[in-house]
Structure 1
Amino acid sequence: MALTRDRFSEFFAAVYGKNYAPFPWQQRLIERVANEQIPWPECLALPTSAGKTACIDIAVFALACQAERPPKERTAPRRIFLVVDRRVIVDQAYRHAEILCEKLDAAKNGILHATAEALRGISSSKVPLTCHELRGGIYRDDAWALTPAQACVIASTVDQVGSRLLFRSYGCSDHMAPIYAGLTGNDALILLDEAHCAQPFLQTIKAVRLFRGEKWAEQPIKAAFHVVSLSATPPPELKDVLHAEKETDFTDPVLGPRLTASKPVQLSVAQKARGKKLHRELAGAM
């Protein structure tokens, strides 16, 4: 029996514990992307601590819900990239995805087993979901490119995904560059966290999306390719934006206090921070 979006809260509790439930905005998002032909919104305008990393869980469950569809009819991509220009957040997102992969792989029954079986059916693999980390300072994990049919989550910095998307893969041969570009730019969801800090990259991937579409491409590519900005300060020109709602999100017992918490700011002036004392005085004031 096919999975449906109505079971997302059950899936969420199975992964994180029975005392955990999706936030209202997360429930609205899964209802939109799981079983409908409507793609992801352009932007999720949500502040820090609103649970944006759970977009990984939403994307994975949406893919499982569409597992029985022919590949050309799926709007849920099999490659899920969470991209952010801060290594510490990349590490956190990778660990989040790693826990999800472990839970799915070990599941023997229930909603997690059903989700895992649906994902296995997509790739004909024993492993339902894999996760990978792309950033500097660690061993480069390119195993995700060896099995294009595999459902996977990739936590990455901007430069790693951007270079692959533009046929300039860091540390890879020229022969592999088209493969990485094809996998990154097709059947892929790019969740760009802190998008306000990565505007050049956002403009680039929007151009890629335009050039692969019907207006420009001689042979338009039908595989899903969605780009979603995760930012508390979305650009005013964006029209399709998911916001926190006063009637639901602000009244949620867990999320509400996070959204309404005061954030006091104090200005400290380092008056002696001049000349040779500049750095010392600034450090002391901080």
Structure 2
Amino acid sequence: MELIHLRILLALKQHGTLSAAAEKLHLTQSALSHQIKNLEQRLGVTLWHKQGRLLVLTQAGRYLSEVAESVIETVDSAGRHLTLLAEGKTGKLAIGIDCHACYEWFRGILQPYLRAWPDLAIEVTSRYRFNSFEAIQSYKLDAVLTSDPVNNGMLRYQALFGFELVLIVAEQHRLAGRGSIVPADLGDETVLTYPVERDRLDMFRKVLQPAGIEPAGHIPVEETDIMLQLVAAGRGVCLLPEWLLADKYAKLGLTSLRFSGLPLTKTMYLACRHEDAELEYMQWLINHARTGIATTHE
């Protein structure tokens, strides 16, 4: 049985005459009759008979037309879905978050994106934080937000925005009044970082280790909110993107400091497979992210 047979039976049920069904399917009446006769011979049943100008489905014809209704609806729905997939208007987008602070920024742009793409299934995860690039290549992820690109030619990186890392201290901290600081100033400090290896932490790999400085203490903290509250209470200092101090963290009584002669500028990227880079919902996310950061943190 072929799909055309099901479409013919459905058209006969809906329109009731051979001429109307043939017109609906863009077939001649003789071609339509020939298709049905062939199907009846293959199945060994009669599917319809005439009553004047009208066609009346037999019990077998009614049963098969009900099957046709369900199958055609499923096939047509699948066709529409595949068309949208090809146009990048629907599908599933699994986004990996490669850094803790990325979550804080991404939460600010997620709701408008969800509203703009109601048919797109979106998953946001940090499950592959330590192997996110391999996860994209193996199709476990579709994209990853990262500020530490791995330029191996396998992925396409699209820049979203630039930002600066600053040392965040309490307003009453001994360093708070300084115009600038140097890594040696942290030798007597407790540094607060996210709980990852030191070679992935900018506080160590870009500030302390190049200067040969070991801080007085090191406390891993999972949540950004908790980290900043600890800093505000004088329990340590931390290195975070400057934009995190804006808005809700201003009331905590925190201030930021820059290192003299040590620029800590980075770029946030969205990395994805080359074949997915031009998908409409991927490009929309990139453009929305670029305008969102400009609007929120100007």
TM norm structure 1: 0.22
Q: Looking at CA atoms only, which structure, 1 or 2, has the larger radius of gyration? A: 2
Higher helix share: 2
If asked which structure has higher relative contact order (CA below 8 Å, sep 6+), I would say 1
Higher strand share: 2
